[in-house]
Amino acid sequence: MKLNIILIFFIFSAQTSLAKDLLLFGGSNHDEFLGCLICNEYSSESVCNGYSAYGNHYGSNMWNEYSSPYGNEYSSSSPWNEYSVSDNVPIVEDRQGKFYGYFTINAYRSNAVDFADQLYEIYQMHDGDVEEVRGTLCELLN
């Protein structure tokens, strides 16, 4: 399973390498910046930088399951809600505004990111611990 996840992320990263940075946005109009998913892992915008506002487990970002609507698996705005079809789920786009899909573990949702199935597998592998999910994503993407 882990090899399958690594291969999918390698393919996704290769397909989006021309886009350089892939960003996460949330909110009702997707105007709330939630961090950079694929970028320099030491950037202050990176979700992989555990000291940044976007990667810090204690902040009010999508990696904190207690103080954020994006981290709580029962929130309709959360990427970790496997049943949500809300338009408030975070989206992935590049700096030029190209839309790559909804960042969600709900692979059945229309316009979900190409790797929603693998994101779900990672989420299940870590028993819903979103900080562990973030760590695995960062290992695979950087």
What confidence tier does 108 reach under pLDDT thresholds 50, 70, 90? Answer: very high
Residues contacting 14, CB < 8 A, separation 6+: none
Give the pLDDT score at 34: 92
pTM: 0.85
Return the beta strands (E) in the chain as ranges.
Answer: 22-26, 32-38, 91-94, 99-102
Give the pLDDT score at 91: 96
Give the pLDDT score at 118: 94
For the beta sheet containing 32-38, the strands, ordered from the edge strand earlier in sequence to the opposite edge, are 32-38, 22-26, 91-94, 99-102
Average pLDDT across the chain, whole number: 84
